[in-house]
């Protein structure tokens, strides 16, 4: 018998690839942080001797969820300014409070709060966009969590940099710092077409090719963004990025609520990715991403929560459900985004958008053992006819019982193993007291 680190025996396994498959009474074999095999229980027991066996009799095992767009540090602004449209929310509330309070300490504490929340909800990798990305990377790494750090770029000064040139200089420093990190990667993160001019965008395209990293940008977040560009005598923002050479397989275009059919075709032609954030779009009344049309055209659509300041949570299980239901209603088609596709959007599609689908996003031999277990024994999930349906449409993040990242347990029986929950809560309370007097 081959000796391995861990056998995880589950009632159901959703490997995600191939899509639509549900394996019953299967075991996932883990050795040296990677998946060695996915086999029926009896075969696994006869072929492998494990240092540890985890029996999950009423659980479904699936890949760790990939939150393809968030602003982790902003978790400290959860509920600070609600029920406002995007630009009023940004200009009158978020940007002023950020100018006053954002610091290395703020980002470190906010990211730890976000990491704790995401791990408890089954997210094992997140794609971030915020100031002081190095602090976010260190916080995630300390918890054993995977992340992609958005190396943010703006035209105007902030606490992080004074101009586009300094943003780009600091970005390359961050990339160099984490270049060989086993859990932390980087991506260029120009904030949006309306905050970054052509020169820096062209430089980002060149640097992204040189460093072989993705480009992560808010794009067509609202119809107003497009209308404002046209009113200035410019082309549509998507066309502008295409003209500058940014529409490529490196591009992760976030939100995309105002799209024409020709733009959808161009996204598919160029192999660009869309990151859909349905709950944030709904809360800010930003519009609807045409997910069914994008998928029909062959565009890879991933899921993100956006930041907790505009969602107001980082719950990828709930995001799956919302994405599916909104897509059905928008397309007036009950078959749009079925359960298995919603799960794929939250796993392998996110991994693909980040250029990490060779390592994470599905349960396949050779991939990193990033996995989660959801307990379906609860009243709210019974009876189970289809485990995928339960995950997408009835399970809650509170049913996530176990999380492994690179084979390492980071959550067991609902308890965080790599994060000091008491300290996270203490720091959140500290910031609530400091920021609480700000006008909203």
CATH number of the CATH domain containing 369: 2.30.40.10
The verdict on 38 and 92 lying in the same domain is no
Omega of the bond prior to 180 within 30 degrees of 0, cis?
A: no
Q: Residue 325: which CATH number?
A: 3.20.20.140
- Contact (Cβ atoms closer than 8 angstroms) between residue 372 and residue 403: yes
Tell me the C-alpha distance between 427 and 90, whole Å. 24
Q: Residue-wise pLDDT tens for the chain (440 aa)? A: 899 999 999 999 999 999 999 999 999 999 999 999 999 999 999 999 999 999 999 999 999 999 999 999 999 999 998 998 888 988 999 889 999 999 999 999 999 999 999 999 999 999 999 999 999 999 999 999 999 999 999 999 999 999 999 999 999 999 999 999 999 999 999 999 999 999 999 999 999 999 999 999 999 999 999 999 999 999 999 999 999 999 999 999 999 999 999 999 999 999 999 999 999 999 999 999 999 999 999 999 999 999 999 999 999 999 999 999 999 999 999 999 999 999 999 999 999 999 999 999 999 999 999 999 999 999 999 999 999 999 999 999 999 999 999 999 999 999 999 999 999 999 999 999 999 876 66
The verdict on 200 and 82 lying in the same domain is yes
User: What are the angstrom distances between the C-alpha of 439 and each of 89, 94, 103, 127, 435?
Assistant: 12, 11, 19, 30, 9
The verdict on 165 and 50 lying in the same domain is no
Q: Flag whether 425 is in a domain.
A: no
Instruction: Tell me the CB-side half-sphere exposure of residue 318, using CA atoms within 13 A.
Output: 14
The verdict on 317 and 284 lying in the same domain is yes
The two structure tokens encoding residue 434: 């400091």
Residue 120 is part of which domain span?
Answer: 65-353
Structurally, the chain folds into a number of domains equal to 2
Considering only CA atoms, which of 145, 142, 149, 138 is closest in space to residue 183? 145
Q: Flag whether 115 is in a domain.
A: yes
Query: What angle separates helix 198-211 from helix 164-177, to the nearest 10 degrees?
Result: 20
Tell me the C-alpha distance between 390 and 160, whole Å. 43
The verdict on 331 and 217 lying in the same domain is yes
Q: Flag whether 411 is in a domain.
A: no
The two structure tokens encoding residue 111: 């990211």
């Amino acid at each position: 018998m081959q000796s391995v680190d861990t056998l995880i025996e589950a009632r159901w396994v959703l490997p995600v690839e191939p899509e639509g498959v549900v394996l019953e009474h299967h075991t996932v074999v883990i050795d040296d942080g990677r998946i060695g095999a996915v086999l029926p229980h009896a075969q696994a027991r006869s072929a492998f001797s494990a240092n540890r066996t985890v029996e999950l009799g009423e659980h479904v095992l699936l890949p760790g969820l990939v939150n393809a767009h968030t602003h982790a540090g902003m978790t400290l602004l959860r509920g600070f300014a609600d029920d406002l449209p995007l630009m009023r929310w940004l200009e009158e509330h978020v940007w002023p409070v950020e100018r006053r309070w954002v610091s290395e300490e703020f980002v470190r504490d906010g990211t730890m709060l976000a990491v704790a929340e995401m791990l408890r909800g089954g997210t094992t990798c997140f794609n971030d966009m915020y100031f002081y990305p190095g602090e976010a990377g260190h916080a995630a790494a300390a918890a054993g969590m995977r992340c992609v750090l958005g190396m943010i770029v703006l035209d105007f000064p902030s606490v992080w940099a004074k101009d586009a040139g300094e943003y780009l200089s600091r970005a390359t420093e961050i990339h160099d710092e984490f270049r060989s990190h086993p859990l932390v990667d980087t991506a260029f993160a120009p904030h949006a077409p309306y905050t970054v001019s052509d020169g820096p965008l062209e430089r980002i395209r060149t640097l992204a090719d040189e460093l072989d990293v993705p480009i992560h940008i808010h794009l067509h977040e609202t119809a107003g963004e497009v209308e404002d560009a046209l009113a200035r005598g410019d082309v549509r923002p998507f066309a502008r990025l295409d003209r500058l050479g940014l529409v490529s397989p490196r591009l992760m275009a976030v939100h995309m609520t105002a799209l024409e059919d020709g733009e959808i075709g161009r996204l598919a032609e160029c192999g660009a990715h869309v990151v859909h954030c349905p709950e944030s779009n709904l809360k800010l009344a930003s519009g609807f991403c045409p997910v069914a049309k994008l998928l029909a055209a062959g565009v890879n659509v991933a899921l993100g929560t956006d930041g907790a300041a505009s969602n107001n949570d980082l719950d990828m299980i709930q995001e799956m459900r919302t994405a599916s239901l909104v897509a059905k209603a928008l397309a007036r088609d009950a078959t749009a985004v079925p359960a298995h596709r919603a799960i794929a959007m939250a796993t392998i599609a996110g991994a693909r958008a980040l250029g990490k689908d060779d390592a994470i996003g599905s349960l396949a031999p050779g991939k990193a053992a990033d996995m989660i277990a959801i307990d379906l024994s609860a009243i709210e999930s019974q009876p189970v006819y289809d485990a995928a349906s339960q995950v997408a449409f009835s399970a809650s993040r509170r049913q996530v019982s176990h999380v492994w990242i690179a084979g390492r347990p980071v959550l067991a029986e609902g308890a965080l193993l790599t994060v000091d929950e008491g300290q996270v809560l203490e720091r959140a309370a500290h910031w609530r007291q400091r920021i609480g007097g700000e006008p909203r």
